[in-house]
Amino acid sequence: MPEQPEPQTEASSQPDQLVVDLQHLDVVKDELSVLGVNFAEPIPDDQALNLGLARLRDLRTSSNELLDLDDLMAEIRQQVGAKRDGWVPTMGTNRWVHTVIGAGHKPMDGGNPTPATVADVPEPDPALATAGTGVLIGIVDTPRLGPAAASAKSLSKHAGHATFVESLIQRQAPNATVEVEGVLDPEQGRADSWDIARAMMRLSDLGIDILNLSLGTYVAAGPPLAISRAIERITPKVLVVAAAGNHGEFGFLVRGRTRRSAIWPGAIPPVIAVGAVDDHGVRPPWSPDLTWISCTAPGVDVAGSYISGDVTLDGVVTPFSGFARWSGTSFAAAHASGAIAARSGGSEQRTARQAYDSLLADPQGAVKRFDATHGATRA
């Protein structure tokens, strides 16, 4: 059963925050003042110079009420465009992004991990003992589990997401170095696009070769500005690998998406968007069949490292002994990131992009090019 987010009853964006291009900030602030909208003056934490963006917080009406941000942006664009021959400022909302992406193959399925043992985890492949040497992989996810996690009374299933993802990456490339930016809330499995984009830039500054983003958000109007700007700034130096979502069977609108919806950052070029297949190379119906998906990798009932302790799953406390089985394109993306790292560097000094191309050319490999025309994979 694939992973999925908790039901989204809250707003899909931070309800009082806009992200604005730094060069357009004064124009937007002036227009907010004309419209009688109050806001907090940006502090250093609200400016990301390496992204060229600023965050405006605490946007309220004069009576201290929250605004509809989409309506507010439309009004700003209309007013500014009328004054400046159609030019409008670059801005967007500060979207929520979930580490457990998609919505499963049925709307009400829990998409929970199931307990496993060390015997369920595949034995290390001796041929991969030195795979990934010299390769640096970045992960934006929940925090790594520390000693305090094991002593907690009960944890959310999201708390072990980064641990699971990292274990799948290192199974393919055990000698790679992995850096985790644990910015997503381990209880809810989410963070806003501003914090995620800044985490992406911090990892880029470390000199990473591959960035794994087993997370995503659905926005019909396009990707969150902060994340699309981060993708623009770090590529092509960094190969970005992201999950393709788990919404492939949604034939009707459910929580803002259908089976045809794009998920961001997966659908942002040149991101490598990864769908899931089972052990036989068959795509499950919940893994989307969409033209922007790049490849597939194992992501059905895969085993990996997880929480050692109690986890609350749909209100039921379930004990885990450090391992789990889980399904989802988050884990297909992790497999792909590890497989790319395993072929990077080495005596041939392959870049991550060259390693990815090499994977797709290998008919025996588990990572396959996605053929949306036939809803399947091909070598």
Q: Cβ neighbours of residue 379 under 8 Å, at least 6 residues apart?
A: 360, 361, 362, 363, 368, 369
Burial 192-225 (b: 16+ CB within 10 A, else e): bbbbbbbbbbbbbeeebbbbbbbbbbbbeeebbb
pLDDT higher than 50, residue 374: no
What's the whole-number average pLDDT of the chain?
A: 90
Per-residue confidence (pLDDT) for residue 345, from 0 to 100: 84
* C-alpha to C-alpha distances, 106 to 29, 36, 103, 157, 250, nearest whole angstrom: 44, 45, 7, 19, 7
Closest by Cα among 2, 205, 185 to 97:
185
Mean pLDDT of 176-202: 97
Over residues 23-39, mean pLDDT: 97
Six-digit token string for 96: 């929520």
pLDDT, position 11: 64
**Residue 214 confidence (pLDDT) above 90:** yes
Tally the residues of the chain.
Answer: 379
Segment among 5-19, 131-145, 171-185 with least mean pLDDT = 5-19
pLDDT of 7 above 80: no
Query: What pLDDT does 9 receive?
Result: 37
How far is 351 from 357, CA to CA, in rounded Å? 10
Q: Supply the pLDDT for residue 150.
A: 60
Q: What is the mean pLDDT of residues 220-243?
A: 95
What is the band of 258 on the pLDDT scale with cuts at 50, 70, 90? confident
pLDDT of residue 10: 46
Residue 161 has pLDDT above 60, yes or no: yes
pLDDT of residue 310: 96
Residue corresponding to tokens 């509809």: 68
Pick from 46-55, 200-209, 245-254: least confident: 245-254
What is the token pair recorded at 254? 């459910």
Per-residue pLDDT tens digits for 120-139: 999 989 999 999 999 999 99
pLDDT tens-digit map of 279-304 = 999 999 999 999 999 999 999 999 99
Per-residue pLDDT at 213 exceeds 50: yes
Give the mean pLDDT of 47-69: 96
pLDDT at 312 > cutoff 60: yes
Counting residues of the chain whose pLDDT is more than 70, the rounded percentage is 89
Portion of the chain with pLDDT greater than 90, in percent = 80
Which domains does the chain possess? 13-95 (3.30.70), 97-378 (3.40.50.200)
What pLDDT is stored for residue 349 in this prediction?
A: 86
SS (HEC) of the chain: CECCCCCCCCCCEEEEEEEEEHHHHHHHHHHHHHCCCEEECCCHHHEECCCCEEEEEEEECCCCCCCCHHHHHHHHHHHHHHHCCCCCCCEEEEEEEECCCCCCCCCCCCCCCEECCHHHCCCCCHHHCCCCCCCEEEEEECCCCCHHHHHCCCEEHHHHHHHHHHHHHHHHCCCCEEEEEECCECCCCEEEHHHHHHHHHHHHHCCCCEEEECCEECCCCCCCHHHHHHHHHHCCCCEEEEECCCCCCCCCCECCECCCCCCECCCCCCCEEEEEECCCCCCCCCCCCCCCCCEEEECCCEEEEEEEEEEEECCEEEEEEEEEEEECHHHHHHHHHHHHHHHCECCCCECHHHHHHHHHHCCCCCCEEEECCCCEEEC
Residue 349 φ/ψ region, left for φ over 0, alpha for ψ in the -120 to 50 degree band, beta for the rest:
left
pLDDT value, residue 106: 43
Does pLDDT of 230 surpass 70? yes
With a cut of 50, say whether residue 264 has pLDDT above it.
yes
Grade residue 17 by pLDDT with cuts at 50, 70 and 90.
very high
Write down the pLDDT at residue 255.
Answer: 65
Is the distance from CB of 100 to CB of 158 less than 8 angstroms? yes
Is 50 exceeded by the pLDDT of residue 5?
no
